[in-house]
Structure 1
Amino acid sequence: MTDSAPPENVHALAAELRQVVLTLYRQLRWQTQGLGMAAQDPIIMETIRLAPGIGVTELAQREHMRTPTMTGHINRLQHQGFVERHQDSPLDRRRFGLYLTSAGIRALARVRKRRTDWVANSLTKTSATERAVIAQAIEILKTLRSEDVVENDISLPSNAVGP
C-alpha cells in the first residue's frame, strides 16, 4: 500500500485510527474487571508465560517499566498465587526466574476468553461484508507494528491469541 496521499489526509487518518485503537484497548482492558486482576496483569502474565524463567529486570525492560514498579506488580501477582519465583542459578543466588502457576494460567485463560467473547459479540453486530473488511484491515494493521517492538518483545505465533 504505497499510495501517496497528501500528508494532511494521512495525519487525519492517523488521528482517527489512534483514537479507535485506544478506545478498543481500553474496552479490552475493562474485561479484567471482576476477575481479581489489574488491567496490566494479563500483559505481564502473558510475557511470563511465553518466556518462563524471565527475570524481573528483563520483564520490566520488555514492558517499558521501571524495575521497582515491575517488582510491585510481581509481588502482588505472587501474593494472589498467579506467579512464582524460582532460583534458577546456583551460581547467582540473587536471580530468580518468574513462572506462572496453574492458577495464573487459568486466570490468563479466563481473561483471554472474556476479551475474545467481547470482541466476537461486537463483531456479530456487523455484516459479513464488514467482517471481511475488518479481516483485511487486520492484515494491513499488522504491517504498522514497529520493528523495534517486534524484535524486542515476544512475538506471538500467528495462531496465538494474546492476553
Structure 2
Amino acid sequence: MRNTTTTITKTVKLAAELRPSILRLSRHLRREAIRGGSSSLDAQLLGTLREEPGLGVSELAEMEQMSRPAMSAHVKRLMTLGYVQREIAKGDVDRRRIGLTVTRTGTQYLRNVNERRADWLADRLAELGSEDRTALDRAAKSLRLILESSAEPV
C-alpha cells in the first residue's frame, strides 16, 4: 500500500509540475497561428478538415465540442478567407450531403502556421543541451501515449 501511495503522490506532483509548462508552451504555439492573421482555432479546424475531408458543419462542431451555430460562423469565416469550400461528398448516396474541404489557399495557410510553430520551437530546442533534447524526445513519446489513451473531456 505504501508503494502505491508514494507512486500516486509522485504522479500528482509531476502532473502539477508539467501542467503550467505545457499550458505556456501551448499558448506560445497558438500565438504563431495568430501572427498569420487568423486564430489558432482556424488552424485547428483546418487541420481537422485536412485529416478528415468531407466532414459537415454538425460533425465538425461535435468533434470540436462547439455549438452548431458557433461552428457555422467559424466555417463561414474560413470560407470568406478562401480556406474552406463546400463540396458534395464523393461516393455518398445522399447527394444532398455537403462536406467541407480545405482549399489550396487553406492548405498553404496551414503549412505556413505549422512552419512558424516548428521554427519557433526548433529555435528554443537548439538552445538546450544534448541531454535535455534527449529527455524531451523521450517525453514527447510519453505525451503521445497520454493523448492516444485518453478520451477528450466532455
Instruction: Tell me the distance in 2 between the aligned counterparts of 1:132 and 1:143.
Output: 17
Instruction: Tell me the distance in 2 between the aligned counterparts of 1:32 and 1:146.
Output: 24
Change over 3 Å in CA distance of 1:124–1:41 after alignment to 2: same
TM-score normalised to structure 1 length: 0.82
Instruction: Tell me the distance in 2 between the aligned counterparts of 1:22 and 1:38.
Output: 17
Larger radius of gyration: 2
Instruction: Tell me the distance in 2 between the aligned counterparts of 1:69 and 1:9.
Output: 41
Is 1:91 matched up with 2:94? yes
Code of the aligned partner of 2:74? H
Q: What is the aligned partner in structure 2 of residue 46 from structure 1?
A: 47
Code of the aligned partner of 2:136? I
From 103, 106, 109, the equivalent of 2:105 is: 103
Name the count of aligned residue pairs: 147
Is 1:119 matched up with 2:121? yes
Q: Which runs of 5+ in 2 are unaligned?
A: none
Shift of 1:92: 5.0
Q: Deviations over 1:31-59 (max 9, x none)?
A: 01231211111110011011111111111
TM-score normalised to structure 2 length: 0.87
Change over 3 Å in CA distance of 1:143–1:34 after alignment to 2: closer
Is 1:7 matched up with 2:8? yes
Secondary structure of the 2:34 match is coil
Q: Deviations over 1:74-126 (max 9, x none)?
A: 01000000000123357352x31001111000000000000000010000110
Secondary structure of the 2:101 match is strand
Task: Calculate the aligned-residue CA RMSD, in Å.
Answer: 1.9
Instruction: Tell me the distance in 1 between the aligned counterparts of 2:72 and 2:17.
Output: 36
